[in-house]
Amino acid sequence: MSTGRGVFVTLEGGDGSGKSTQAGLLEEWLLKAGRTVLRTREPGGTEFGLEVREIVLHSRGFITPRAEALLYAADRAQHIATKVRPALERGEIVIQDRYIDSSVAYQGSGRVLGAAEIRSLSQWATEDLRPDLTVLIDLDEVAARARLDNDQKRFDRLEAEKSDFHRRVRESFLEIAAAEPTRFVVVDGTLPPESIAAQVRERLQPLL
Protein backbone atom coordinates (compact mmCIF):
# COMPACT_ATOMS: atom_id res chain seq x y z
CA MET A 1 0.00 0.00 0.00
CA SER A 2 1.10 3.59 -0.51
CA THR A 3 2.69 5.24 2.50
CA GLY A 4 0.96 8.59 2.06
CA ARG A 5 -2.70 9.64 2.28
CA GLY A 6 -3.33 9.35 -1.44
CA VAL A 7 -4.34 6.39 -3.61
CA PHE A 8 -2.00 4.85 -6.17
CA VAL A 9 -3.76 3.29 -9.18
CA THR A 10 -1.82 1.65 -12.01
CA LEU A 11 -3.08 0.45 -15.39
CA GLU A 12 -1.44 -2.51 -17.08
CA GLY A 13 -1.90 -4.53 -20.23
CA GLY A 14 -0.35 -5.23 -23.59
CA ASP A 15 0.19 -2.67 -26.31
CA GLY A 16 -3.15 -1.75 -27.85
CA SER A 17 -5.23 -2.88 -24.86
CA GLY A 18 -6.74 0.55 -24.19
CA LYS A 19 -4.90 1.73 -21.08
CA SER A 20 -4.70 5.36 -22.17
CA THR A 21 -8.43 5.48 -22.87
CA GLN A 22 -9.25 4.08 -19.43
CA ALA A 23 -6.79 6.38 -17.69
CA GLY A 24 -8.55 9.33 -19.29
CA LEU A 25 -12.03 8.12 -18.34
CA LEU A 26 -10.96 7.46 -14.75
CA GLU A 27 -9.32 10.87 -14.46
CA GLU A 28 -12.46 12.56 -15.80
CA TRP A 29 -14.68 10.72 -13.28
CA LEU A 30 -12.44 11.56 -10.33
CA LEU A 31 -12.11 15.22 -11.28
CA LYS A 32 -15.90 15.52 -11.54
CA ALA A 33 -16.07 14.06 -8.02
CA GLY A 34 -13.82 16.84 -6.78
CA ARG A 35 -10.66 14.76 -6.36
CA THR A 36 -7.15 15.98 -7.00
CA VAL A 37 -5.59 13.73 -9.62
CA LEU A 38 -2.11 13.20 -11.01
CA ARG A 39 -2.18 11.31 -14.29
CA THR A 40 1.20 10.05 -15.41
CA ARG A 41 2.97 7.24 -17.25
CA GLU A 42 6.13 5.16 -17.43
CA PRO A 43 8.41 5.69 -19.12
CA GLY A 44 8.08 9.40 -19.73
CA GLY A 45 6.48 10.86 -16.63
CA THR A 46 9.37 13.27 -16.02
CA GLU A 47 11.79 15.23 -18.20
CA PHE A 48 14.40 12.57 -17.51
CA GLY A 49 11.81 9.92 -18.31
CA LEU A 50 11.05 11.46 -21.70
CA GLU A 51 14.69 11.05 -22.63
CA VAL A 52 14.67 7.44 -21.42
CA ARG A 53 11.44 6.80 -23.32
CA GLU A 54 12.98 7.99 -26.55
CA ILE A 55 15.94 5.65 -26.04
CA VAL A 56 14.09 2.49 -25.01
CA LEU A 57 11.18 2.80 -27.45
CA HIS A 58 12.61 4.57 -30.48
CA SER A 59 16.37 4.03 -30.55
CA ARG A 60 17.48 2.62 -33.90
CA GLY A 61 20.50 0.91 -32.37
CA PHE A 62 20.53 -2.45 -30.61
CA ILE A 63 19.86 -2.37 -26.86
CA THR A 64 20.61 -5.51 -24.87
CA PRO A 65 17.71 -6.83 -22.74
CA ARG A 66 19.59 -6.14 -19.49
CA ALA A 67 20.42 -2.59 -20.55
CA GLU A 68 16.75 -2.10 -21.45
CA ALA A 69 15.65 -3.35 -18.03
CA LEU A 70 18.09 -1.03 -16.27
CA LEU A 71 16.90 1.97 -18.28
CA TYR A 72 13.30 1.30 -17.26
CA ALA A 73 14.37 0.94 -13.62
CA ALA A 74 16.29 4.23 -13.76
CA ASP A 75 13.25 6.01 -15.18
CA ARG A 76 11.09 4.46 -12.48
CA ALA A 77 13.39 5.50 -9.65
CA GLN A 78 13.36 9.13 -10.81
CA HIS A 79 9.64 9.15 -11.51
CA ILE A 80 8.53 7.73 -8.17
CA ALA A 81 10.91 9.84 -6.09
CA THR A 82 10.22 13.19 -7.78
CA LYS A 83 6.61 12.95 -8.92
CA VAL A 84 4.51 10.03 -7.67
CA ARG A 85 5.50 9.75 -4.02
CA PRO A 86 5.19 13.52 -3.40
CA ALA A 87 1.70 13.48 -4.96
CA LEU A 88 0.63 10.59 -2.74
CA GLU A 89 1.98 12.38 0.32
CA ARG A 90 -0.16 15.39 -0.64
CA GLY A 91 -3.20 13.12 -0.64
CA GLU A 92 -3.72 13.03 -4.39
CA ILE A 93 -4.97 10.12 -6.48
CA VAL A 94 -2.27 8.96 -8.88
CA ILE A 95 -3.38 7.29 -12.12
CA GLN A 96 -0.35 5.74 -13.77
CA ASP A 97 -0.05 4.04 -17.15
CA ARG A 98 2.40 1.14 -16.54
CA TYR A 99 4.50 0.34 -13.50
CA ILE A 100 6.57 -2.55 -12.11
CA ASP A 101 4.23 -5.23 -13.48
CA SER A 102 5.00 -4.06 -17.01
CA SER A 103 8.71 -4.59 -16.48
CA VAL A 104 8.08 -8.03 -15.02
CA ALA A 105 5.93 -8.93 -18.04
CA TYR A 106 7.96 -7.29 -20.82
CA GLN A 107 11.54 -7.70 -19.62
CA GLY A 108 11.07 -10.59 -17.20
CA SER A 109 8.95 -12.77 -19.49
CA GLY A 110 9.04 -11.12 -22.92
CA ARG A 111 12.83 -10.74 -22.84
CA VAL A 112 13.15 -13.89 -20.66
CA LEU A 113 15.30 -12.17 -18.02
CA GLY A 114 13.38 -13.69 -15.10
CA ALA A 115 10.38 -12.24 -13.30
CA ALA A 116 11.88 -12.35 -9.80
CA GLU A 117 15.05 -10.52 -10.81
CA ILE A 118 13.20 -7.77 -12.65
CA ARG A 119 10.70 -7.27 -9.81
CA SER A 120 13.50 -7.07 -7.26
CA LEU A 121 15.30 -4.44 -9.35
CA SER A 122 12.22 -2.22 -9.60
CA GLN A 123 11.28 -2.63 -5.94
CA TRP A 124 14.76 -1.43 -5.01
CA ALA A 125 14.49 1.48 -7.45
CA THR A 126 11.15 2.61 -6.00
CA GLU A 127 11.89 1.85 -2.35
CA ASP A 128 9.12 -0.75 -2.59
CA LEU A 129 6.23 1.59 -3.36
CA ARG A 130 3.28 -0.62 -4.30
CA PRO A 131 -0.04 0.30 -5.93
CA ASP A 132 -3.29 0.27 -3.99
CA LEU A 133 -5.11 -0.96 -7.11
CA THR A 134 -3.91 -2.30 -10.44
CA VAL A 135 -6.24 -2.50 -13.44
CA LEU A 136 -5.22 -5.17 -15.94
CA ILE A 137 -6.91 -4.74 -19.31
CA ASP A 138 -6.64 -8.18 -20.86
CA LEU A 139 -6.60 -8.51 -24.63
CA ASP A 140 -5.09 -11.32 -26.67
CA GLU A 141 -2.11 -10.48 -28.82
CA VAL A 142 -3.94 -10.98 -32.15
CA ALA A 143 -6.68 -8.49 -31.30
CA ALA A 144 -4.14 -6.07 -29.85
CA ARG A 145 -2.03 -6.16 -33.02
CA ALA A 146 -5.12 -5.53 -35.14
CA ARG A 147 -5.83 -2.39 -33.11
CA LEU A 148 -2.26 -1.17 -33.52
CA ASP A 149 -2.41 -1.82 -37.26
CA ASN A 150 -5.61 0.22 -37.48
CA ASP A 151 -3.91 3.16 -35.75
CA GLN A 152 -1.48 3.31 -38.69
CA LYS A 153 1.33 4.69 -36.58
CA ARG A 154 5.00 3.80 -36.41
CA PHE A 155 5.54 0.86 -34.08
CA ASP A 156 7.98 1.36 -31.22
CA ARG A 157 10.63 -1.26 -30.36
CA LEU A 158 8.30 -3.30 -28.14
CA GLU A 159 5.19 -3.02 -30.30
CA ALA A 160 7.24 -4.32 -33.24
CA GLU A 161 8.14 -7.57 -31.47
CA LYS A 162 6.73 -10.84 -32.80
CA SER A 163 3.55 -12.53 -31.64
CA ASP A 164 5.35 -14.99 -29.34
CA PHE A 165 6.84 -12.10 -27.40
CA HIS A 166 3.44 -10.52 -26.86
CA ARG A 167 1.90 -13.87 -25.94
CA ARG A 168 4.50 -14.30 -23.18
CA VAL A 169 3.79 -10.77 -21.97
CA ARG A 170 0.04 -11.42 -21.77
CA GLU A 171 0.52 -14.73 -19.95
CA SER A 172 2.83 -13.03 -17.48
CA PHE A 173 0.32 -10.28 -16.71
CA LEU A 174 -2.37 -12.88 -16.04
CA GLU A 175 -0.07 -14.87 -13.78
CA ILE A 176 0.82 -11.77 -11.77
CA ALA A 177 -2.86 -10.86 -11.39
CA ALA A 178 -3.81 -14.39 -10.33
CA ALA A 179 -1.13 -14.29 -7.61
CA GLU A 180 -2.38 -10.96 -6.20
CA PRO A 181 -6.17 -10.92 -6.55
CA THR A 182 -6.68 -8.33 -3.80
CA ARG A 183 -4.59 -5.77 -5.70
CA PHE A 184 -5.86 -6.49 -9.21
CA VAL A 185 -9.05 -6.04 -11.13
CA VAL A 186 -8.85 -7.88 -14.47
CA VAL A 187 -11.17 -6.60 -17.18
CA ASP A 188 -11.95 -7.88 -20.67
CA GLY A 189 -10.31 -5.55 -23.16
CA THR A 190 -12.87 -6.39 -25.86
CA LEU A 191 -15.71 -4.76 -23.89
CA PRO A 192 -16.89 -1.24 -24.72
CA PRO A 193 -14.72 1.40 -23.00
CA GLU A 194 -17.55 2.62 -20.76
CA SER A 195 -18.27 -0.92 -19.55
CA ILE A 196 -14.62 -1.32 -18.59
CA ALA A 197 -14.64 2.09 -16.91
CA ALA A 198 -17.67 1.11 -14.82
CA GLN A 199 -15.87 -1.99 -13.53
CA VAL A 200 -12.83 0.08 -12.63
CA ARG A 201 -14.90 2.67 -10.76
CA GLU A 202 -16.72 -0.04 -8.82
CA ARG A 203 -13.45 -1.58 -7.68
CA LEU A 204 -11.82 1.77 -6.85
CA GLN A 205 -14.73 3.27 -4.93
CA PRO A 206 -14.03 1.52 -1.58
CA LEU A 207 -10.45 2.84 -1.62
CA LEU A 208 -11.67 6.43 -1.86
| Domain boundary assignment for the chain | 7-207
pLDDT of residue 11: 98
pLDDT of residue 2: 45
Over residues 160-187, the pLDDT tens digits come to 788 899 999 999 999 999 999 999 999 9
Q: pLDDT category, 153, cuts 50, 70, 90?
A: low
Measured CA to CA, the distance from residue 103 to residue 126 in angstroms comes to 13
Kindly state the helix (H) or strand (E) to which residue 86 belongs, with its residue range: helix 85-89
pLDDT at 3 over 60: no
* Percentage of the chain lying above the pLDDT 70 cut: 96
pLDDT of residue 150: 72
Torsion of CA 15, 16, 19, 25, to 10 degrees: 170
Task: Return the sign of the alpha-carbon dihedral for residues 192, 195, 199, 200.
Answer: positive
Helix ranges (DSSP H) in 104-192: 115-125, 141-151, 163-179
pLDDT at 192 over 70: yes
Kindly state the helix (H) or strand (E) to which residue 137 belongs, with its residue range: strand 133-138
Measured CA to CA, the distance from residue 201 to residue 47 in angstroms comes to 30
Kindly state the helix (H) or strand (E) to which residue 96 belongs, with its residue range: strand 93-97
pLDDT of residue 115: 96
User: Which backbone phi and psi does 37 adopt, to 5 degrees?
Assistant: -125, 135
pLDDT of residue 94: 98
One of 3.40.50.2300, 3.10.450.40, 3.40.50.300, 2.60.40.1180 is the CATH number of 7-207, namely 3.40.50.300
pLDDT of residue 152: 58
Kindly state the helix (H) or strand (E) to which residue 204 belongs, with its residue range: helix 193-204
Over residues 62-103, the pLDDT tens digits come to 999 999 999 999 999 999 999 999 999 999 999 999 999 999
